[in-house]
Amino acid sequence: MPLAEYPQAARSPRQERELLRIQRAAAAARRGAAPAMAVALAQIGAAFDEAAAINAFKLRVERLIRLGPHHPAVRARFGGRADLLFGRGLDAAIAAVERWWRDERKAFAIASALGCGSRLSLEILRELRLILRLARCKRMQAEFASILAALCNAPIAVAAE
């Protein structure tokens, strides 16, 4: 189902902005009295340019955040890395993920040169980097431990009252 056919309530503000950006590109081509093919090409170009790729990445991360740490897809995607981060604070986790991402980029470059590179691990680390940065920006240091524990299926220590 194309984005334009989704109900209004199902769209996020980012999806709305992306749809409007694509529509503006088509409208600009129409104003120039361009033929229908040029309008279609302008719309396709806007839907698949670098900004669209960045927005698609951010939408994917938003979706993973909305699913939450208990969702099986999120656990499958980030569970292994979460186990490695368990017991660290948010800042230490960000530093570790940054280091992993740099190392993985180097390994991918070498593997690609040899013709057998896989981007999956690199994409997972890229998503994790954005999620951790967002958590730091929103000052979620206290919630970070409980989110990590939920991903790792670790028991959470609850204060007795």
Listing DSSP states for the chain in one string gives --GGGS-GGG--HHHHHHHHHHHHHHHHHHHTT--HHHHHHHHHHHHTSHHHHHHHHHHHHHHHHHH-TTSHHHHHHHHHHHHHHTT--HHHHHHHHHHHHHHHHHHHHHHHHTT----HHHHHHHHHHHHHHHHHHTT-HHHHHHHHHHHHTPPPP----
Query: Residues 82-91: pLDDT tens digits?
Result: 999 998 999 9
User: Please, which pLDDT band fits residue 65 given cuts at 50, 70 and 90?
Assistant: very high
**Residue 105: band (very low, low, confident or very high) from pLDDT cuts 50, 70, 90:** very high
Confidence grade of residue 156 (pLDDT, cut at 50, 70, 90) = low
What is the model's pLDDT at position 155?
Answer: 57
pLDDT for the residue 123: 94
Mean pLDDT along residues 22-35: 81
- Mean pLDDT in residue range 72-84: 92
Q: How far apart are CA 10 and CA 20, in angstroms?
A: 16
Report pLDDT digits (tens) over 43-63: 888 888 898 899 899 999 999
> Any idea where the domains of the chain sit in the sequence?
9-67, 72-152
Percent share of the chain, pLDDT over 70: 88
Give the pLDDT mean for 88-116.
94
